[in-house]
């Protein structure tokens, strides 16, 4: 009996000791974690101070910040035959004069390209891809042959989906897309050959693979991070790019003709936008080094991932959700105006004062892509009973220039850009927000590949812009005579920045 009591006391004592030791370890780990966090935060302040460059120095050195001239126009760094954007005219004093927007692919207006596809009731993204890469409109037989070539590239290499996507999912599809493109290098028997014929082969391979890449990456994310069922559909070679995308991202694989046609139209409008947009310029920049196709396209994806470039359609979707939450009856135009004014005054929305989907860096009066997409978006709205949601976009397009003039006192045209209606289209198609930017990348890949080929053919010179140093020269300080900028005590988690 006494032995049992002693054993119980010993067990209790050991449990208490275990609890104390565990608590002590957790406290030590928390202290170390807090100390590390404090170290990083204080170091960030020091780095910010040491790296800051005064605005006056940029002016003094005549730096074209953001590669833009003082009047807002882009610095000319190259020539291209692929795309042309017209958003304004220049007067004799080099001032921008607003003009109706125009967009050309290889010399053909985007309105003509789209209207003919609609008139003939056919998909047009593949034809657009052919035009951008080869430089001319294909004959019927050439287009059929090209479609068959793309069809043969719809399925990913054996084992790729399992080994490279499903076993290592990412919560960000753009991140996974870039990693997948880099991984495809390992599946290419001739990855580093930058001859035009080989780069053309690689480009066609990637254009064929992309729908499956984004669909499987999304399904892996939905299953691993969102607790959704895993639905994997194989691509059907005979289907168009937009049809395969809708089929593979939806659990049932079902879609309607108008859904696929509107998505196809959206992809045509996003396929190219001149060599000066950030991701296409990235393609030129990286390709000028002579690197492989996979590295160049992965770099372009990284550029597009940035919210200042490729995330605007997501911002439109989120903004519309916010408006509907705060103005449930958005047909009450008075309350809607009041809330839009609050957004403009940075009192509502995300606090930036921006109405996403309105305004553009180049287009001053109209964005031709928005005008084209708007008509198809209206048809999609009618087919899905979303007329009120469409009219909300239309109202914002018409009303924001007036409200912004009242808020700022500056009266100037503010056109709706393509993101206003592509955001609506993606939402109406029940396309998950997670793949809105990857869809943009799938469309823009055609333009990137065309620009890579153009750089290899017509560029011929390594791009190396100049940065002027504004750091003063310093005398070296021996190690023993240096003072610490940050002091840290890991045992007490006390830290201070000098």
Q: Is 193 a catalytic residue?
A: no
From 360, 389, 427, 451, the catalytic residue = 360
Residue located via tokens 């509107």: 262
DSSP helix/strand/coil, 318: helix
Long-range Cβ pairs for the range 458-464 (8 Å, 24+): 458/79, 459/78, 459/284, 459/287, 459/288, 461/288, 462/288, 462/289, 462/290, 463/77, 463/284, 463/285, 463/288
- The whole-angstrom distance between residue 137's C-alpha and the CA centroid of its chain comes to 28
Quote the Cα angle for 82-173-317, to 5°. 80
From 264, 394, 419, 427, the catalytic residue = 419
Handedness of CA 384, 389, 395, 398 (dihedral sign): negative
Q: Cβ(341)–Cβ(407) under 8 Å?
A: yes
β-pairing, 83-90 vs 96-105, is antiparallel
User: 94: closest CA among 69, 77, 76?
Assistant: 69
DSSP, residue by residue, 175-222: HHHHHHHHHHGGG-SSTT---HHHHHHHHHHHHHHHHHHHHHHHHHHH
To the nearest 10 degrees (0 to 180), the angle between helices 196-225 and 241-249 is 20
DSSP, residue by residue, 118-176: HHTT---HHHHHHHHHHSSPPPHHHHHHHHHHHHTTSSPPTTHIIIIIITS--S-HHHH
Structure tokens at 47: 């780095």
Q: Is 49 a catalytic residue?
A: no
Cα dihedral value 379, 384, 389, 391, nearest 10: 30
Catalytic residue numbers read 360, 419
């Amino acid at each position: 009996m006494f032995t049992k009591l002693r054993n119980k006391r010993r067990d209790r004592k050991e449990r208490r000791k275990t609890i104390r030791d565990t608590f002590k370890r957790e406290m030590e780990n928390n202290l170390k974690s807090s100390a590390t966090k404090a170290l990083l935060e204080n170091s960030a302040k020091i780095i910010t101070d040491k790296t800051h460059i005064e605005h006056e120095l940029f002016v003094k050195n005549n730096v074209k910040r953001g590669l833009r001239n003082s009047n807002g126009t882009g610095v000319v760094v190259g020539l291209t035959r692929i795309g042309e954007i017209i958003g304004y005219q220049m007067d004799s004093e080099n001032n921008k004069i607003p003009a109706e927007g125009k967009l050309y692919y290889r010399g053909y207006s985007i309105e003509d390209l789209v209207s003919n596809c609609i008139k003939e009731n056919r998909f047009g993204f593949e034809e657009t891809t052919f035009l951008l890469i080869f430089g001319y409109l294909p004959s019927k037989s050439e287009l059929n042959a090209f479609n068959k070539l793309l069809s043969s590239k719809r399925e990913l290499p054996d084992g790729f989906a399992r080994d490279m996507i499903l076993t290592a999912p990412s919560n960000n599809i753009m991140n996974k897309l870039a990693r997948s493109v880099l991984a495809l290098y390992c599946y290419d028997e001739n990855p580093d050959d930058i001859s035009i014929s080989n780069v053309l082969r690689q480009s066609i391979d990637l254009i064929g693979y992309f729908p499956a890449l984004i669909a499987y990456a999304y399904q892996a994310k939905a299953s691993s991070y969102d607790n959704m069922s895993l639905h994997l559909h194989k691509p059907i070679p005979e289907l168009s790019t937009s049809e395969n995308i809708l089929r593979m991202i939806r659990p049932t694989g079902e879609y309607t003709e108008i859904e696929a046609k509107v998505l196809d139209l959206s992809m045509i409008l996003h396929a190219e936008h001149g060599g000066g947009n950030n991701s296409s310029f990235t393609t030129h920049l990286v390709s000028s080094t002579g690197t492989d196709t996979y590295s160049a396209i992965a770099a372009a994806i990284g550029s597009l991932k940035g919210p200042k470039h490729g995330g605007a359609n997501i911002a439109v979707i989120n903004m519309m959700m916010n408006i509907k939450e705060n103005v449930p009856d958005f047909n009450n135009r008075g309350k809607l105006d009041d809330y839009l004014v609050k957004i403009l005054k940075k009192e509502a929305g995300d606090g930036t004062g921006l109405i996403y989907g309105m305004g553009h860096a180049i287009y001053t009066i109209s964005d031709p892509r928005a005008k084209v997409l708007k008509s198809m978006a209206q048809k999609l709205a009618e087919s899905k009973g979303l007329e009120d949601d469409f009219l909300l976009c239309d109202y914002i397009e018409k009303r924001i220039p007036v409200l912004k003039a009242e808020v700022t006192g500056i009266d100037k045209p503010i056109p709706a850009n393509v993101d206003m209606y592509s955001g609506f289209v993606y939402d109406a198609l029940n396309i998950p927000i997670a793949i809105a930017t990857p869809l943009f990348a799938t469309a823009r890949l055609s333009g990137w590949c065309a620009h890579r080929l153009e750089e290899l053919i017509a560029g011929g010179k390594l791009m190396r812009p100049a940065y002027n140093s504004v750091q003063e020269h310093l005398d070296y300080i021996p190690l023993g005579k240096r003072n610490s900028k940050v002091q840290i005590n890991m045992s007490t988690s006390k830290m201070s920045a000098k």
